[in-house]
Amino acid sequence: MPIFKPSSFSRFFIWPSLSLLTLALTPGYAQVFAQADSPIAPNAEITLPLVLEAAKTGQEMSLKDYEGHTLLVDFWASWCGPCRASFPWMNKMQAKYKDENFKVVAINLDVRPELAYAFLEQIPAEFDVLLDEKAELPDAYNVIGMPTSYLIDKEGRLRAQHIGFHDSKLDEYEAGIKALLAE
């Protein structure tokens, strides 16, 4: 059962109604897929600017820099309402599991970084935020809605995906994190 369906990031902007329909019909982390059934996270070597406290740091990072950690990688944009709701929860998960080699990495897809900075001034991130102004990663990850999040295991494999952010699924989202941390 594949969890990563073919799509194009540009479709999200061209056919928003199609993406919103997909978003409405997509479940959260129904399960964490077995490592043997999971692909390696694509383009993990691409470096992106790191943002701290709503400003670029001059430092760049890639997902490879997080090897050995369980990751929640979240693709988001400043205009996304559900993204606003997800940041406090991701802050909570980062704080709760940081001592267990867990990291949240949010990848912003705004074309203009100042939009991400304004968002982060209103809703601070207590985790790493990377800027993908050139949209180098969304096609590789088949991002079709905002936010789209992936759980990546310590060996760099995509183990779960959810599209959107639903308060009713917070226990499922956290259960996915716990399952990977227990491996």
Q: Looking at the annotation, which residues are catalytic?
A: 80, 83
Give the separation between CA 71 and CA 104, rounded to whole angstroms: 6
Give the separation between CA 46 and CA 77, rounded to whole angstroms: 19
Q: Is residue 130 within 8 Å of 137, Cβ to Cβ?
A: no
DSSP output for 146-160: SSEEEEE-TTSBEEE
Residue 114 CB burial class (10 angstroms; 0-12, 13-18, ≥19): exposed
User: Who's near 137: CB < 8 A, 6+ residues apart?
Assistant: 42, 43, 46, 48, 75, 107, 143
